Amino acid sequence: MDSYVVFGNPIGHSKSPAIHRLFAEQTGEQLTYTSLLAPLEDFDNCALGFFTSGLGANVTLPFKEDAYRLADRLTERAQRAGAVNLLSKLADGTLLGDNSDGEGLVRDLTINCGVTLKGQRILLLGAGGAVRGVLEPLLEQQPVSLVIANRTVDKAELLAQAFAELGPVAAAGFDWLTEPVDVIINATSASLAGDLPPIASSLIQAGHTVCYDMMYGKEPTPFMQWALEHGAAVALDGFGMLVEQAAVAFEFWRGVRPDTAPVLKTLREQMAAS
């Protein structure tokens, strides 16, 4: 049977096997999908070992840049992102790398959550690989402005310069910003440590600003709690992004697009009950 995998370290928490199992049931595709703990110092050999028989892999932290270097060919968006979260073995045995994170984020925001991005003022928190992977799809939505805020401003400035040709993108320090924005996306890992990015609550326009955390959990993340306490119109987690980027991968491998809505509903119910 065709086999697929998600690589990460740690990986035990991954919902990807459950997501792809539901996709396979829904579409009637015959496949296996498991998780694999890759050694921190030896991702390449672990991945190449899997691909002796496996057909495709998702790649999560901390291996997205390793996967970028391992791929024999890259899609244009993976090239620009400098990171790969999706590997596919082609007919000639070579590996194609793609990055579906940004498409997953935009689909979750616009389709699942009904958020308009065109003409909006977007604030993106962080300047790591997660940000790099979503900048192009966000700018394709034609926001009026997109500001990358980061503790180390130099990193944000480098990203803004790298993506400047795609739209109105600028860099800032966390403490430079006070004026309200329409959408705040937290792409830092602060929520994993129970922390918050050090930004002003005045960035939230009460009843209007949409706040989105790329992290997720059974309970609202610290960023989501902070957003609601300061009057955000809505605070969303990144679980929908995870499911949507998985759907991109599934279609990439199998040529059939799964319906994400029932999968999201099932898994959220399971998380709430666990």
d(CA 125, CA 159): 12
Q: Which residues contact 251 (CB under 8 A, 6 or more apart)?
A: 257, 258
d(CA 246, CA 121): 28
β-bridge mates for residue 8, sequence order: 37
d(CA 233, CA 27): 36
Report CA dihedral (219, 225, 229, 230) to the nearest 10 degrees. Answer: -150
Sheet containing 73-74: order of strands: 31-37, 2-8, 56-59, 86-89, 95-98, 73-74
CA atoms within 13 A on the CB side of 70: 25
DSSP state of 25: H
Q: Per the residue annotation, which of 64, 89, 118, 218 is the catalytic one?
A: 64
Report CA dihedral (132, 133, 136, 140) to the nearest 10 degrees. Answer: -130
DSSP state of 28: T
Catalytic site includes residue 64: yes
Active site residues: 64
